[in-house]
Chains A and B, each alone.
Chain A
Amino acid sequence: MSGERSLTPEWRSRLVKGGWLTALLVVVVLIPQSLEPIEVLNFVDIMILALAALGLALLVGFSGQVSIGHGAFMGIGAYTTAILVADHGWSWPLATLAAVVASFAAGAIVGLPALRIRGTALALATLGLAVVFPQVIRRYRDVTGGSQGKRVPTRFEAPDWTDMANDQWLYYVTAALLGFSLLLVRNLVRSRVGRGLVAIRDNEVAAETMGVRVAAYKVLVFGLSALFAGLAGSVSVFRTRFVAAGDYDIVLSIELLVIAFVGGIATIAGPVVGALAFHEVRDLIQDRSTELAAVVFGIVLILLVLAMPDGLVGGAKRFWAQVRFRWTSMRGAGETDPAGGGPLGPPDDVTTDGEPSGLSSGPP
């Protein structure tokens, strides 16, 4: 009725979102211009963790299954890259491509048991993978370097035309890969495949009856999930140019789970927020004791499941929806929340629009 109304609530929220995204993009672009190299590399580490956790969030959010072995997929990506670059003279991008293919294939194979039974079978298989992977590396130590580790002599250098320092170039490459992956997952979620996956998670039998190709989709989502972890592992070699068997043990896999759950598997932003929070908190506690950090993260994981199953991002969303609901009901009664959120309604990331929801609303 009034002029303000010509802008529909949907468009208004899109504009706000666009504004925030632009601001975020500016910050992301400016970080390497204004920070010390060591801090820039810290952000690279955070983005690598976010990339790996993104794969995990995709898996938990979509298939309702959990992997305790994503550290191993990260390792597969890292070792593929390191061996190809160091011993076979491949270029970095080609080696990354091979790493991505290798981790996807490994993920699809380990995901096969998930076809037979639901529930915790996949967790079991991936637990085995997490324990076996470092042993495989140790067994073939003449190729992998074993526990001593393997160094990659080739530097990851910025091309001349960029006129950038190596750390800045690494930062932008990592940011671009992460951004592209986030976009890919976001679009996948909203596609036909994404809806099929949600249908499988919520009721497998019903989905199959409706013509969703359950087997293919399940293997696909596990392969994709492993692919992102493998990509993260590959990028981590750009950064450290070093791989060692002990770096890819079960603790890394569990830390990735912590990151995915801290951020929240319900949203695309979750892994990024989770990685940032995890990295900062770990740095904070690690000065005192590495062991204490593990205890804290163990407790945090348990408390999250108990109290805030949708993680920091989900929790913030609910909080925000509540604030908005209060605000609108103060201004005038009867006006409902445009996003359908609010304290009584479901948060706006539940299954209806095809987004992952994971722990916040699993199969009944």
Chain B
Amino acid sequence: VDDIPFFFDTLLQGIKFGSVYASLALAIVIVYRTSGLLNFAQGEMAMFSVFLTWQFAAVWGLPIGLAWLAAIACSFVMGAVIERLVIRPVSDHPAGPLAVVIVSIGLFLGFNGLAGYLWGRTGEVLPNPFPATTWDIGGVAVTATIVGSVLVLAVEVVALWFLFQKTKLGLGMRAVASSKESSRLAGVRVGTMLLVGWGLAAAVGTVAGVLQAASIPGNAFDPNLMVGTLVYAFAAATLGGFDSPVGAVVGGLVVGITRMFAQQYVGWIGSDLAVASAFALILVVLLVRPQGLFGRVEVTRV
């Protein structure tokens, strides 16, 4: 197993899954930056969006690219509605962030059950958004899915950078992230910004979900598609720092590559315990450097 093509193959697989984790971690970071909360249902919402994509493409016959875009739009609305309907009412709950954690766990259970109720647990096959082309580069198989995943992640990052740094909306969202009170005084519509933040996160999550389904051989998926992915994405966000989009992308790629190398090169880990590498990473980072690589240290005022 120590030949060079195998090494590069593992690396490429790692980058492919890393793009998925980076995407979902971006969604988690967007929510954290705008509202200071962890959305534990982010993965399940993404899974639901994958079923929406499948519904548009396989049942209603839209081309897969168009179906994907339609699902992204629907998910944006879904995220915004969830923020307005169940998150905002508990955001000033006396128990603080704990209340939102519980609500997001309720969403986790609800979305998982709803997907199972509507579409069953036996699983479906998502039409591949990428062509089935494979390039052979020096004995290493480079599939269009790998290239496509990286490209999609790149487009996503540029689009988000543009939104946050170059538009008035993004400026408002950054202002809300740094201080709700000050932004409200300065005339920023805080509610709208939170709404857009959750919608945006759900849209970005849709990208992650479809990439994940496309990464699995055969493109088969079921309502448990994103449960493991959520742990990888949380590991990515923990490593990068929950308030850092750059950290999410770097963290995602590191986690993806670590996962594949642990899986392929460490015999006793294998595919069963691969997700344990992410769990271990979460524990170690929380213990050693809770703010992550790129995050800001939280200072408690006594």
A residues with CB within 8 A of B:
60, 64-66, 68, 110, 112-113, 116-117, 119-121, 123-125, 127-129, 131-132, 135-136, 138-139, 205, 250-251, 254-255, 257-258, 261, 289-295, 297-302, 305-306, 309, 358-364
**How many CB-defined contacts (below 8 Å) exist between A and B?**
170
Flag B82-106 by CB within 8 Å of A: 1 or 0 each. 0000100110011111110111011
Chain B interface residue count, CB cutoff 8 Å, equals: 52
Using Cβ atoms and an 8 Å threshold, which residues of chain A touch B40?
68, 123, 127
Shortest distance between the CB of B163 and any CB in chain A (Å): 26
Is A124 touching B290 in the complex (CB atoms < 8 A)?
Answer: no
Using Cβ atoms and an 8 Å threshold, which residues of chain B touch A358?
95
Known A125-B283, A295-B114, A302-B106: A120·B101 in contact at CB below 8 Å: yes
Is A66 touching B102 in the complex (CB atoms < 8 A)?
Answer: yes
Known A129-B279, A250-B227, A306-B89: A123·B38 in contact at CB below 8 Å: yes
Residue of B nearest to A121 (CB): B286
Contact of B114 among A64, A129, A291, A359 (CB under 8 A): A291
Question: B112 in the interface, Cβ–Cβ < 8 Å?
Answer: yes
Contact of B113 among A135, A295, A305 (CB under 8 A): A295
Question: B216 in the interface, Cβ–Cβ < 8 Å?
Answer: no
Is B279 touching A116 in the complex (CB atoms < 8 A)?
Answer: no
Using Cβ atoms and an 8 Å threshold, which residues of chain A touch B105?
66, 68, 254, 257, 301
CA distance A123 to B105 in the complex (A): 10
Using Cβ atoms and an 8 Å threshold, which residues of chain A touch B268?
139
Question: B221 in the interface, Cβ–Cβ < 8 Å?
Answer: no
| CB contact list, B118-156 vs A, under 8 A | 121
CA distance A123 to B38 in the complex (A): 10
Is A309 touching B93 in the complex (CB atoms < 8 A)?
Answer: yes
The 5 nearest A-B residue pairs measured at CB: A294-B113, A298-B110, A362-B95, A301-B106, A128-B279
Is B38 touching A298 in the complex (CB atoms < 8 A)?
Answer: no
Using Cβ atoms and an 8 Å threshold, which residues of chain A touch B286?
113, 116-117, 121, 124-125
Is A131 touching B302 in the complex (CB atoms < 8 A)?
Answer: no
CA distance A294 to B287 in the complex (A): 34
Using Cβ atoms and an 8 Å threshold, which residues of chain B touch A300?
106
Question: B208 in the interface, Cβ–Cβ < 8 Å?
Answer: no
Question: B282 in the interface, Cβ–Cβ < 8 Å?
Answer: yes
Using Cβ atoms and an 8 Å threshold, which residues of chain A touch B227?
131, 250
Interface-centre pick from A289, A291, A293, A361 (highest chain B CB count, 10 A): A291
B residues with CB within 8 A of A:
37-38, 40, 86, 89-90, 93-99, 101-103, 105-114, 116-117, 121, 227-228, 230-231, 234-235, 238, 268, 270, 272-273, 275-276, 278-279, 282-283, 286-287, 290, 298, 300, 302
Interface pairs (17), CB distance under 8 Å: A65-B98, A113-B287, A120-B37, A124-B238, A131-B231, A132-B231, A139-B272, A205-B300, A258-B106, A301-B109, A302-B103, A305-B93, A305-B102, A305-B103, A306-B86, A309-B93, A358-B95
CA distance A257 to B102 in the complex (A): 8
CA distance A2 to B33 in the complex (A): 64
CA distance A118 to B91 in the complex (A): 18
Using Cβ atoms and an 8 Å threshold, which residues of chain A touch B37?
120
CA distance A121 to B98 in the complex (A): 11
Using Cβ atoms and an 8 Å threshold, which residues of chain A touch B107?
298, 302
Using Cβ atoms and an 8 Å threshold, which residues of chain A touch B38?
120, 123-124
Interface-centre pick from A66, A116, A120 (highest chain B CB count, 10 A): A120
Shortest distance between the CB of B275 and any CB in chain A (Å): 6
Known A117-B290, A359-B102: A309·B282 in contact at CB below 8 Å: no
Using Cβ atoms and an 8 Å threshold, which residues of chain B touch A292?
113, 117
Is B302 touching A362 in the complex (CB atoms < 8 A)?
Answer: no
Contact of A294 among B98, B116, B273 (CB under 8 A): B116
Using Cβ atoms and an 8 Å threshold, which residues of chain A touch B86?
302, 306
CA distance A292 to B109 in the complex (A): 10
Using Cβ atoms and an 8 Å threshold, which residues of chain A touch B231?
127-128, 131-132
CA distance A306 to B89 in the complex (A): 7
Is B106 touching A299 in the complex (CB atoms < 8 A)?
Answer: yes
Contact of A258 among B99, B109, B270, B275 (CB under 8 A): B109
Known: A123-B38, A295-B114. 19 other contacts (CB 8 A): A112-B283, A113-B287, A117-B298, A124-B238, A127-B230, A128-B283, A132-B276, A257-B102, A294-B110, A295-B113, A298-B111, A299-B110, A302-B86, A302-B107, A302-B110, A306-B90, A359-B94, A362-B96, A362-B99
Shortest distance between the CB of B154 and any CB in chain A (Å): 28
Residue of B nearest to A112 (CB): B287
Is B110 touching A359 in the complex (CB atoms < 8 A)?
Answer: no
CA distance A309 to B272 in the complex (A): 38
Is B276 touching A254 in the complex (CB atoms < 8 A)?
Answer: no
Using Cβ atoms and an 8 Å threshold, which residues of chain B touch A359?
93-95, 98-99, 102
Known A121-B290, A294-B116, A306-B89: A128·B278 in contact at CB below 8 Å: yes
Known A66-B101, A121-B290, A309-B99: A298·B275 in contact at CB below 8 Å: no
Is A254 touching B109 in the complex (CB atoms < 8 A)?
Answer: yes
Using Cβ atoms and an 8 Å threshold, which residues of chain B touch A258?
106, 109
